[in-house]
Structure 1
Amino acid sequence: MSGLTRNSSDPPRYFYDLNPEQQKNWMKTTRRMEKNEQLRAEYPPFQSPSNFTVLHLHHYSSIETIEELIRMAKTTHIYTIDTESQVINKVAKGALVQIQFVHSIHESTLILIEMFYLPNQDSLLFKKIKELCSIILHDENTKITWGPFKNEFKNFYSYGLFEKGKIKNAINLQDRFSDWYNKSASITHPVRESREKQTSWSLQDAIKIAFQQFLDKNETVNKWRCGLDFKLNTWKRKLFSKNDYNANEEKEKRITMIQYAVADCTAVTKLYFMIYPSDSGIQTSYETPTPTTASTNMTLNINDLSDISEEEEPKILMPYFVKPTQTLIPKFNEQNYLTIETTEEEMNEFNVQEQQQAQEQTTITKLSKSEKQRKKNLKLKWKQKYHPNFQHKIKRPIYYRYDYQKVRAQLKDDDIYTSHQLNINRHKKEVLIGFKSETEQEQARIKMPINYFSKKQYEQRWG
């Protein structure tokens, strides 16, 4: 949903009553919002490759939950960390800490520590949360952040949850991404290296460049001390409602903020595995407890409906255990059977009527088949534009001598499986490749560096 309510080309009246510094800040914020909406229109939304569980930590958390997280932390060695602060009386106060336990490339647990709602520092619960954080920040563990680690926690030490001091084994992925991009750009386009080299990237731009996806940054500046977890009951007070108090608006805003906080973490993790594909095979030894209750799930693959007519769909969507209604046919009784013989004249008249009806039926059938095909084409076209399974694409620069045959052959040689969606843009010198699933897209991204279709690659493979 678009959040743009400003226009840098047409400021409101109050803009001209602001002082120069305020006008500068207003314009900076507005341009950031405009960029956000432009990217929203141009790219599909960011998708995390990981299935994750989100847990909120605060004074209502149970000791059992924290102890379970401690056991999990002892077997997890890669963490992605992000924080959110809120300016209160012109002073930035730490409000939220997001920590992603990276169990594998596809599984993770994400905790949101709500700093304004921590338990008393003398309580056992606080000490357990502090112990958990200490295990996470242990020297041997890899801590991934977007930007310097010390910048993330500079507003959080006053809470007594984190200890000051030099953190070992911290990875500033913002710097690593710059190195990765500049190195890739110099290989692919050495002539443009000097003018394209960048030293600092925003996370939003990095996601756009690496995955051609839109990372929404609309919630960056926010009331992060609001209390995100519904268990805190802060949603029962008016904070985000536009007019009178509205419970739905209060809850929806918090859900949007949670989604933003989670995406900011998982986006960094996704970039980490792209830059360090050798770590994509990690697997922690921690196992979640087996659920005590079981459920039966039925999965329907929507792609399988693309070639099915409108009349057939209800039958396919019907649960398999629902039997069609039986039609009872009376048992044949020879005594009640009546034979009626027709004359030759009646038969001739009947045959003429049959021929006319057959011709009419043929015309109707042809029209019906044509209409069905049109509907199927429209359905397929809609799916290609909007369905998630048609949005898995990778864009790469391409050397001009590549053609479709060589691109497909190279992909086949490297066991890269596509959805046969392939488009070479000669004007922009780039190729767009589609994949059937996000998993195949991620596997291909690991095998396809930015210089995958470069001149050097062409000469090595095709001479």
Structure 2
Amino acid sequence: MSLRSIPSHLRNPDEPPPSLSAKAATRWKRNAKKALQNYDYQQQFILFYVPSLCYKIYHIHRFTDLNVMDNIIIHFQTCSSFSVDTESFQHTSNIALIQIHSIPKELPALVLLIQLHHLPIQSSILFQKIKLLFDILCDQNKTIYSWGELVNEFKHATSFSLFSLPIPAKQINLQNEFFMWYKEVPPHCEVCRPNDDVYVTTGPSMFCKCNQSINNDSIRTCSLQNAILYTTGCFLDKSQTENTWSSMLDPDYTTLDSEKLDKMIHYASYDCISLTYIRLPLTQRWTFLQLEKTPIYVLLTDSRSILVDPDLDYISDAECSPSFTLTLHDYKQRKGGAHSRRSIAARRQRNVIRNRRRRLGRYRCQLIRYVYRRFSMKQIKEILHQLQIRFIHTKWEGNNVIIALKTQHLREQYQRQLPIDIFDKNNYYSQHRRT
């Protein structure tokens, strides 16, 4: 058993639950090790950062406005390259989210979060427009960057009828490109560098040439997080990898907590933005010095015809591009904020006060329904989800359930939509007969 101290919010990889099967225990240990590595990186390195001015996020689902879709389609038609990633829920075959980052001629780029479990019906105009987006993406004249083989990312999404395999577009696996680039731009540290003129990486020791444990197989299958860390010296947060990606992520329609939602959206967006960021250094075999001196608009735009938006001129390189010379202290000064300077006890107290205030306003807009005694809260929530009731919280009050909603408009809409007797005895037994 490891003697190192494990933070209380993390799992110990050496202590899986005894009730798990051998396969589940192996998966549990792997995820626990990844979470622990993510925590270690977070303590040592500065956060990978791209200014929000450089991109716009759009949520694609059954409520997306048609005019918004038209503007996205026009933007996609002007782009020749894209970065793509996917997220799954519980199992890799249960794909729930496709992230696409456009690589335009001028910033800002677009980040699309396509929520596969919340698509419109296939006969709708909106679905046809979403399908047109994929037709443009997969066109033979386009280039798609991914981390790993694109077919492995997309093969479980064909059942949604948005595209078919094989994909005609040119596909570039940046994981393979990283392996080739790594061999041409070898890493060095203070110990193994041959002379003072050679760049010294700020990445972890696992990338060092003098570390004998490293081998070609481990680099060939290197994670995106480690590749970003090695190339930029920055930490790409992967703490949200295991998550409920089948949930609605649009802030206007979700039932997720706002703090958790922000983290999930940030994670999903940065997974494909980071691919775009390192695509030129890897495919064109840049040196570290070239990457360090290249402004961010070059990294995030189509290098064949770069047109710089005048609004971006005021963004300095130090602000836009993660610099190899930045220290953790410098980053904290730039990020700043009173919250980061508070003690742990003060943060906890502030969070308690904040949560109390949020709870006070939780039930301003609510519905009350009588509930038969055999109904569980889990069953009630399942029925609400089936009826597409966008609630934010539920609680018991005697024989009734209180359903909290975001707005008065939703309350008026659901007052008509949700029957008064939806949770009575007759409906309970009719539910059981169906199941």
TM norm structure 1: 0.55
Contact 1:103–1:282, Cα closer than 8 Å, also in 2: no
Match of 2:251 among 230, 237, 244: 230
Q: Using a 3 Å threshold, how does the CA distance of structure 1 residues 189 and 255 change in structure 2: closer, same or farther? A: same
Deviation at 1:92, TM superposition (A): 2.6
Give, in whole Å, the separation in 1 of the partners of 2:106 and 2:280: 8
- Is the 8 Å Cα contact of residues 89 and 245 (structure 2) preserved in structure 1? yes
Q: Which amino acid aligns with 1:173?
A: L
| Counterpart selection for 1:34 from 33, 36, 42 | 36
2:225 counterpart residue number: 204
Single out whichever of 90-99 and 68-77 deviates more from structure 2.
90-99
SS at 1:230's partner residue? coil
Q: Secondary structure at the match of 1:144?
A: strand
Pairing partner for 1:386 from 319, 329, 332: 332
Which deviates the most, 44-53 or 223-232? 44-53
Q: How does 1:173-192 map to 2 (within 5 A)?
A: 173-185=174-186
Q: Structure 1, residues 253-282: CA drift from partner, whole Å, max 9, x if none?
A: 111101000010111111103224697534
Whichever residue aligns with residue 257 of structure 1, its letter is M
Cα deviations by residue, 1:95-124 (Å, 9 ceiling, x for unpaired): 111111111485311111111111110111
Partners of 2:228 and 2:274 within 8 A in 1: yes
Which structure's CA Rg is the greater one?
A: 1
- Is 2:105–2:307's contact at 8 Å kept on the other side of the alignment? no
Change (3 A) 1:47 1:156: same
Partner Cα distance (2:274, 2:133) in 1: 23
> CA offsets, 1:384-432, max 9 Å, x none?
3622389xxxxxxxxxxxxxxxxxxxxxxxxxxxxxxxxxxxxxxxxxx
Quick one: distance in 2 between partners of 1:105 and 1:3? 45
2:281 maps to what in 1?
A: 274
Residue 132 (structure 1) shift: 1.5
**Cα distance in 1, alignment partners of residues 333 and 106 from structure 2:** 24
Partner of 1:68: 71
Q: Secondary structure of 2:18's partner?
A: helix
Which residue type is aligned with residue 137 of structure 2?
I
CA distance 1:196–1:140, shift in 2 (3 Å): same
In the alignment, the residues of structure 2 paired with residue 224 and residue 134 of structure 1 have an alpha-carbon distance, to the nearest angstrom, of 24
1:309-348 pair list within 5 angstroms: none
Residue equivalent to 1:406:
none
Displacement after TM superposition at 1:71 (Å) = 1.1
The answer on 1:58 being equivalent to 2:79 is no
Counting only pairs closer than 5 Å after superposition, residues 49-128 of structure 1 correspond to structure 2 as: 51-87=54-90, 92-104=93-105, 107-128=108-129
The CA deviation at 1:199 is 1.7
CA contact (8 A) 1:186 1:193 kept: no
Q: CA RMSD for the aligned pairs?
A: 3.6
- Is it true that 1:48 corresponds to 2:50 in the alignment? yes
Structure 1 residue aligned with 2:236, among 215, 218, 221?
215
> Structure 1 residues 218 and 186, CA, compared in 2 at 3 Å: closer, same or farther?
closer
**Structure 1 residues 382 and 51: CA distance shift in structure 2, 3 A:** closer
Distance of 1:284 and 1:181 partners within structure 2:
27
Instruction: Give the conservation status (yes or no) of the 8 Å contact 2:106–2:308.
Output: no
The share of aligned pairs that are identical, in percent, is: 27
Q: Superposed, which structure 2 residues align to 1:298-317 within 5 Å? A: none
Describe the shift of the 1:43–1:16 C-alpha distance in structure 2 as closer, same or farther (beyond 3 A): same
The equivalent of 1:5 in structure 2 is 10
State the partner residue of 2:340.
none
Q: What is the CA-CA distance between 1:161 and the residue it aligns to? A: 0.9
Please give the alpha-carbon distance, in whole angstroms, between the structure 1 residues aligned to 2:8 and 2:133: 37
Which letter maps to 2:12? N
2:280 partner amino acid = F
1:283/1:253 CA distance change after superposition, 3 Å:
farther
Other-structure match for 1:20: 22
**Shift of residue 216, structure 1, vs aligned partner:** 1.0
Amino acid at match of 2:62: H
Distance 1:29 1:91 in 2: 14
Corresponding residue SS for 2:63: coil
Amino acid at match of 1:270: Y
Task: State the partner residue of 2:359.
Answer: none
Q: Please name the residue that 1:258 is paired with.
A: 265
Q: Distance in 1 between matches of 2:58 and 2:150?
A: 22
Secondary structure in 1 aligned to 2:62? coil
The 1:102–1:4 alpha-carbon spacing in structure 2 relative to 1, beyond 3 Å, is farther
Letter of the structure 2 residue corresponding to residue 212 of structure 1: G
> 2:210 and 2:281 mapped to 1: Cα distance?
23
Helix, strand or coil: the match of 1:56?
strand
Q: Aligned to 1:229, what secondary structure does the other structure show?
A: coil
CA distance in 2, matches of 1:274, 1:120: 41
CA contact (8 A) 1:182 1:193 kept: no
* TM-aligned CA deviation for residue 220 of structure 1: 0.9
Aligned residues: 283
State how far apart, in whole Å, the 2-side matches of 1:171 and 1:196 are.
Answer: 23
Contact 1:105 1:273 in 2 (8 A): no
Where structure 2 has 5 or more consecutive residues not aligned to the other structure, the ranges are 1-6, 195-208, 287-297, 319-326, 337-435
Structure 1: runs of 5+ lacking an equivalent? 241-249, 291-298, 304-380, 391-463
The residue type paired with residue 59 of structure 1 is: R
Distance in 1 separating the partners of 2:315 and 2:126: 44
How far off is 1:20 after superposition? 2.8
Match of 1:343 in 2: none
- AA at the equivalent of 1:58: H
Structure 2: distance between partners of 1:178 and 1:254: 34
Q: What is the letter of the counterpart of residue 155 of structure 2? A: K
